[in-house]
Structure 1
Amino acid sequence: MNRITTIDVTRGLVMIIMALDHIRDLLHITAISQNPTDLTTTTAPIFLTRWITHLCAPTFVFLSGASAYLSLKKNRNSAASRGFLFRRGLVLILLELTVINFAFWFDIQFRSLLLQVIYVIGGGLIILSILSRLPVRWVGLLGLVIVFGHNLLALLPPITNPTARFVSALFFRVDFFPLSPSFAVVTGYPLIPWLGIMLVGFALGSRLDQPITVRRRLLFRLGLSALGLFVILRFINVYGDPAPWSTQKDALFTVLSFINVTKYPPSLLYDLLMIGIALVVLGLADGVDNPVTRWLMVYGKVPMFYYIIHWYSVHLLMIAMVLLQGFSLNDIQAGTMSFGRPAGAGISLGPIYLVWLGLVLALYPLCRWYGRYKSAHPENAVLRYI
């Protein structure tokens, strides 16, 4: 089976957008004190800078499911292929707990543990290695049931038992656990709501080996249908997101309220909006070969490598910024759920965009080199995991 390049192009695009959010998190002057999607305190540029990056995580998860299907089909659904999915899932979770969490906090004591998108992709691949034995339509149906139904869990009473609450958070809810004065765990991405997205992506993978013209029509039809359903359900304002939209101080902020969907955990309306956009982007990029798509593919072919090095780069940029602003290394105090940035350090939104563009361009030759090295050494099994 030929490689479906639109997956790499779309993944490359959202990986570039992702870096903007993480640079804003660590370098923006108001990132510590201001919720960028709180319409009572934010500005439109800050809101949209955060909102556009909502596209990243669901697209990663969705495409991970599609890629898992294509990988299994390429290798004839063998037990070895399922075993690889299982092992890859374990490796991703291990990387999340170690290499990636250190990149978040730069804390050698590991006083903070944040479970994010790599955790849910890893867990999802483990579950997919089992569910992939079922007919694809059943896997897709299960994914749709999760996507459309998991918001009903909000109707259940809160869990008071500490152990049950922690287990529930790993699978269903965002939660914060200060397990000791010097150690805390945040389940930022509970597994099951994101698994639904991956299972739907897996089912779509079974339709991606069609001719490009047929595939493009399918991607556009599915994407526009998801966006249309989002508009209808959001307008009704009854089900699909825990935060209803409302009329705001002006027309612009009313529109922002309408698209201000809940990511933690991903609501039905969040899924419809973001996956709808991702499907349209997939359709637009399908079969397109030009300098822009080839540039995006360089990033999209090495997602794990890019994800790791971009986090370390962003954190090092934060340290450089702090030092350039007159602070010392002693002012950077890592602690529980703290990036260590001292109060008063930071830059405004305009320079954030300049830093973002500079970082993306700086990472290009590294990603191109690693992509070529990986392609040239298929015998190196370790490279399959990163």
Structure 2
Amino acid sequence: MATVAYSPAASVSKPAASPARLQSIDALRGLVMVIMLLDHVRETWFLYMAVGDPVDARTIMPALFFTRITSTLCAPIFVALTGLSAYLYHQKHSLAETSRFLLSRGAFLVLLELTLVNFSWRAELVPQFVFLQVIWAIGLCTILLAGLIHLPARAILALGLVLVGGHNLLDGITFPANHPLFLPWAIIHERSQIELAGTVIKFNYPILPWIGVICLGWSAGSWFTKLTPDDRRRTLRGAGAAMIIGFIILRALNIYGDAPWFVVPGEPVRTVMSFLALTKYPPSLLFLLPTLGVGLILLAAFERANDDRPTHWLSVMGGAPMFFYLFHLYLLRILYLSARAIWGTNHGDIFGVDSLGWVWVWYLGLIVPLYFPTRWFSNLKKRRKDIWWLKYL
């Protein structure tokens, strides 16, 4: 979502009526992008080690499992912050202006997914595969939010709760490939694929639960305009803790919200892995509860640490999220193609490192080099308000 300008409330006794830019929101977005980088480094250098959805706790090595699930925070927090940012944008713009911006922003994201994002993964002018992933999902949800914001606030909140909490009731509904509802159902709820003109299009992010998440993000926006900073932090922590506790209880009962977990006799670590192995495509209720809960608690923590240097560094990264996203994808692609040109392929038809430890080395080595160009672009956005298209990046 486009970053929206807000500034920390100056008074603890009185909420800000029209916030400009909260550093805590940018810091959370920046942290999520740094976490996302780890998963994309893994997919660049360790792709030959297959990771399913949900991760198979019986077979995957624990280090790879925990490296993978770290990134589960990313998509839910990205989508929720999109809704929250849209609400804060509306505080300085009319409902009609907000709708127009959301429509154009959403269309831009869909176009970006179909072009620059997909090209960055495979660099094919005529691709064999097109993956419709998180940017696609955020784009479609943003377009839908442009219409949903005209509903009463309680209706948006209710819709968000129903979609997040109830979409797993639809898991048993499927359609064969020749059915007229197959394609719309693939976009809405069931992860599927179609072939079009020799290109396989994979719908990795069915959008129904993500619509619920963006609605909840919009609904949480009132906490930033109607509550004092202290009350807001308490609300964020309380809501986050309630979601995590709700996840633990519901997961322990093993009755709803995801595929059942299991005990692996004599292997407590793999039992824990089974408990934490949750479905992301589309995100189950049990996937969303802890990830969004952790996100709320982190947001409260960043508000408390608003003046800390690490928070500032992360907020710089979060101030130009789309620039960081595209820049790091193309940097990883260039590094991968260079390595393959130098050393050739060593795992089938791809090049990869032999140890997960090298994935972490690459990851830690890229964070600082990615910070500086992102800071440059973030500062450019602040200086050049006259360049209208910069807000989309």
Q: What TM-score results when the alignment is normalised by the length of structure 1?
A: 0.92
Question: Does the 8 A contact of 1:89 with 1:121 survive in 2?
Answer: yes
1:262-288 CA-partner distances (Å, limit 9, x unpaired): 101100000101101111111111131
Between stretches 138-147 and 279-288, larger displacement belongs to: 279-288
The 1:344–1:295 alpha-carbon spacing in structure 2 relative to 1, beyond 3 Å, is closer
SS in 2 for 1:208: helix
Between stretches 230-239 and 109-118, larger displacement belongs to: 109-118
Question: Does the 8 A contact of 2:340 with 2:351 survive in 1?
Answer: no
Are residue 124 (structure 1) and residue 141 (structure 2) matched? Answer: yes
Counterpart CA distance in 1 for 2:325 and 2:75 is: 12
Question: How many Å apart are 1:111 and its aligned residue?
Answer: 2.5
2:263 maps to what in 1? 247
Counterpart CA distance in 2 for 1:168 and 1:207 is: 34
Question: How many Å apart are 1:344 and its aligned residue?
Answer: 5.8
Counterpart CA distance in 1 for 2:140 and 2:254 is: 32
SS in 1 for 2:270: helix
Q: Superposition RMSD on alpha carbons, in Å?
A: 1.8
Q: Please tell me the residue identity of whatever aligns with 2:87.
A: Y
Question: How many Å apart are 1:162 and its aligned residue?
Answer: 4.4
Question: Does the 8 A contact of 2:83 with 2:215 survive in 1?
Answer: yes
Are residue 238 (structure 1) and residue 255 (structure 2) matched? Answer: yes
Q: Please tell me the residue identity of whatever aligns with 2:260.
A: P
1:306 maps to what in 2? 324
SS in 2 for 1:354: helix
1:165 maps to what in 2? 182
Question: How many Å apart are 1:163 and its aligned residue?
Answer: 4.0
Counterpart CA distance in 2 for 1:116 and 1:343 is: 22
Alignment of 1:365-380 (within 5 A): 365-380=372-387
Counterpart CA distance in 2 for 1:34 and 1:132 is: 37
Question: How many Å apart are 1:191 and its aligned residue?
Answer: 1.5
Question: Does the 8 A contact of 1:146 with 1:193 survive in 2?
Answer: yes
Counterpart CA distance in 2 for 1:59 and 1:100 is: 20
Counterpart CA distance in 2 for 1:42 and 1:244 is: 18
SS in 2 for 1:262: coil
1:77-136 CA-partner distances (Å, limit 9, x unpaired): 331222011111111111111111111211111222111111111111111111111122
Question: Does the 8 A contact of 2:48 with 2:352 survive in 1?
Answer: no
1:363 maps to what in 2? 370
Alignment of 1:45-60 (within 5 A): 45-60=63-78
1:318-370 CA-partner distances (Å, limit 9, x unpaired): 1122234245xxx9xxxxxxxx9824643421111111122221111100000
Question: Does the 8 A contact of 1:35 with 1:42 survive in 2?
Answer: no
Counterpart CA distance in 2 for 1:247 and 1:271 is: 23
Counterpart CA distance in 2 for 1:176 and 1:160 is: 9
Counterpart CA distance in 2 for 1:87 and 1:123 is: 11
Counterpart CA distance in 2 for 1:296 and 1:355 is: 19
Give the alignment partner of residue 21 of structure 1, picking from 33, 39, 50: 39
The 1:34–1:260 alpha-carbon spacing in structure 2 relative to 1, beyond 3 Å, is closer
1:337 maps to what in 2? none
Give the alignment partner of residue 223 of structure 1, picking from 215, 240, 245: 240
The 1:30–1:59 alpha-carbon spacing in structure 2 relative to 1, beyond 3 Å, is same
Question: Does the 8 A contact of 2:164 with 2:212 survive in 1?
Answer: yes
Counterpart CA distance in 1 for 2:188 and 2:297 is: 29
Counterpart CA distance in 1 for 2:339 and 2:42 is: 13
The 1:193–1:341 alpha-carbon spacing in structure 2 relative to 1, beyond 3 Å, is farther
Question: Does the 8 A contact of 1:8 with 1:300 survive in 2?
Answer: yes
Question: Does the 8 A contact of 2:247 with 2:290 survive in 1?
Answer: yes
SS in 1 for 2:323: helix
Give the alignment partner of residue 107 of structure 2, picking from 74, 81, 90: 90
Q: Please tell me the residue identity of whatever aligns with 1:63.
A: L
Question: Does the 8 A contact of 1:325 with 1:345 survive in 2?
Answer: no
Question: Does the 8 A contact of 1:212 with 1:287 survive in 2?
Answer: no
Question: Does the 8 A contact of 1:131 with 1:139 survive in 2?
Answer: yes
1:188 maps to what in 2? 204
SS in 2 for 1:176: strand
Which structure 2 segments of 5+ residues have no match? 1-18
Q: What TM-score results when the alignment is normalised by the length of structure 2?
A: 0.90
Question: Does the 8 A contact of 1:147 with 1:193 survive in 2?
Answer: yes
Question: Does the 8 A contact of 2:353 with 2:359 survive in 1?
Answer: no
Which structure 1 segments of 5+ residues have no match? 332-339
Counterpart CA distance in 1 for 2:84 and 2:348 is: 38
Q: Figure out how many residues of one structure are paired with residues of the other and give that number.
A: 371
Alignment of 1:293-372 (within 5 A): 293-327=311-345, 342-343=349-350, 345-372=352-379
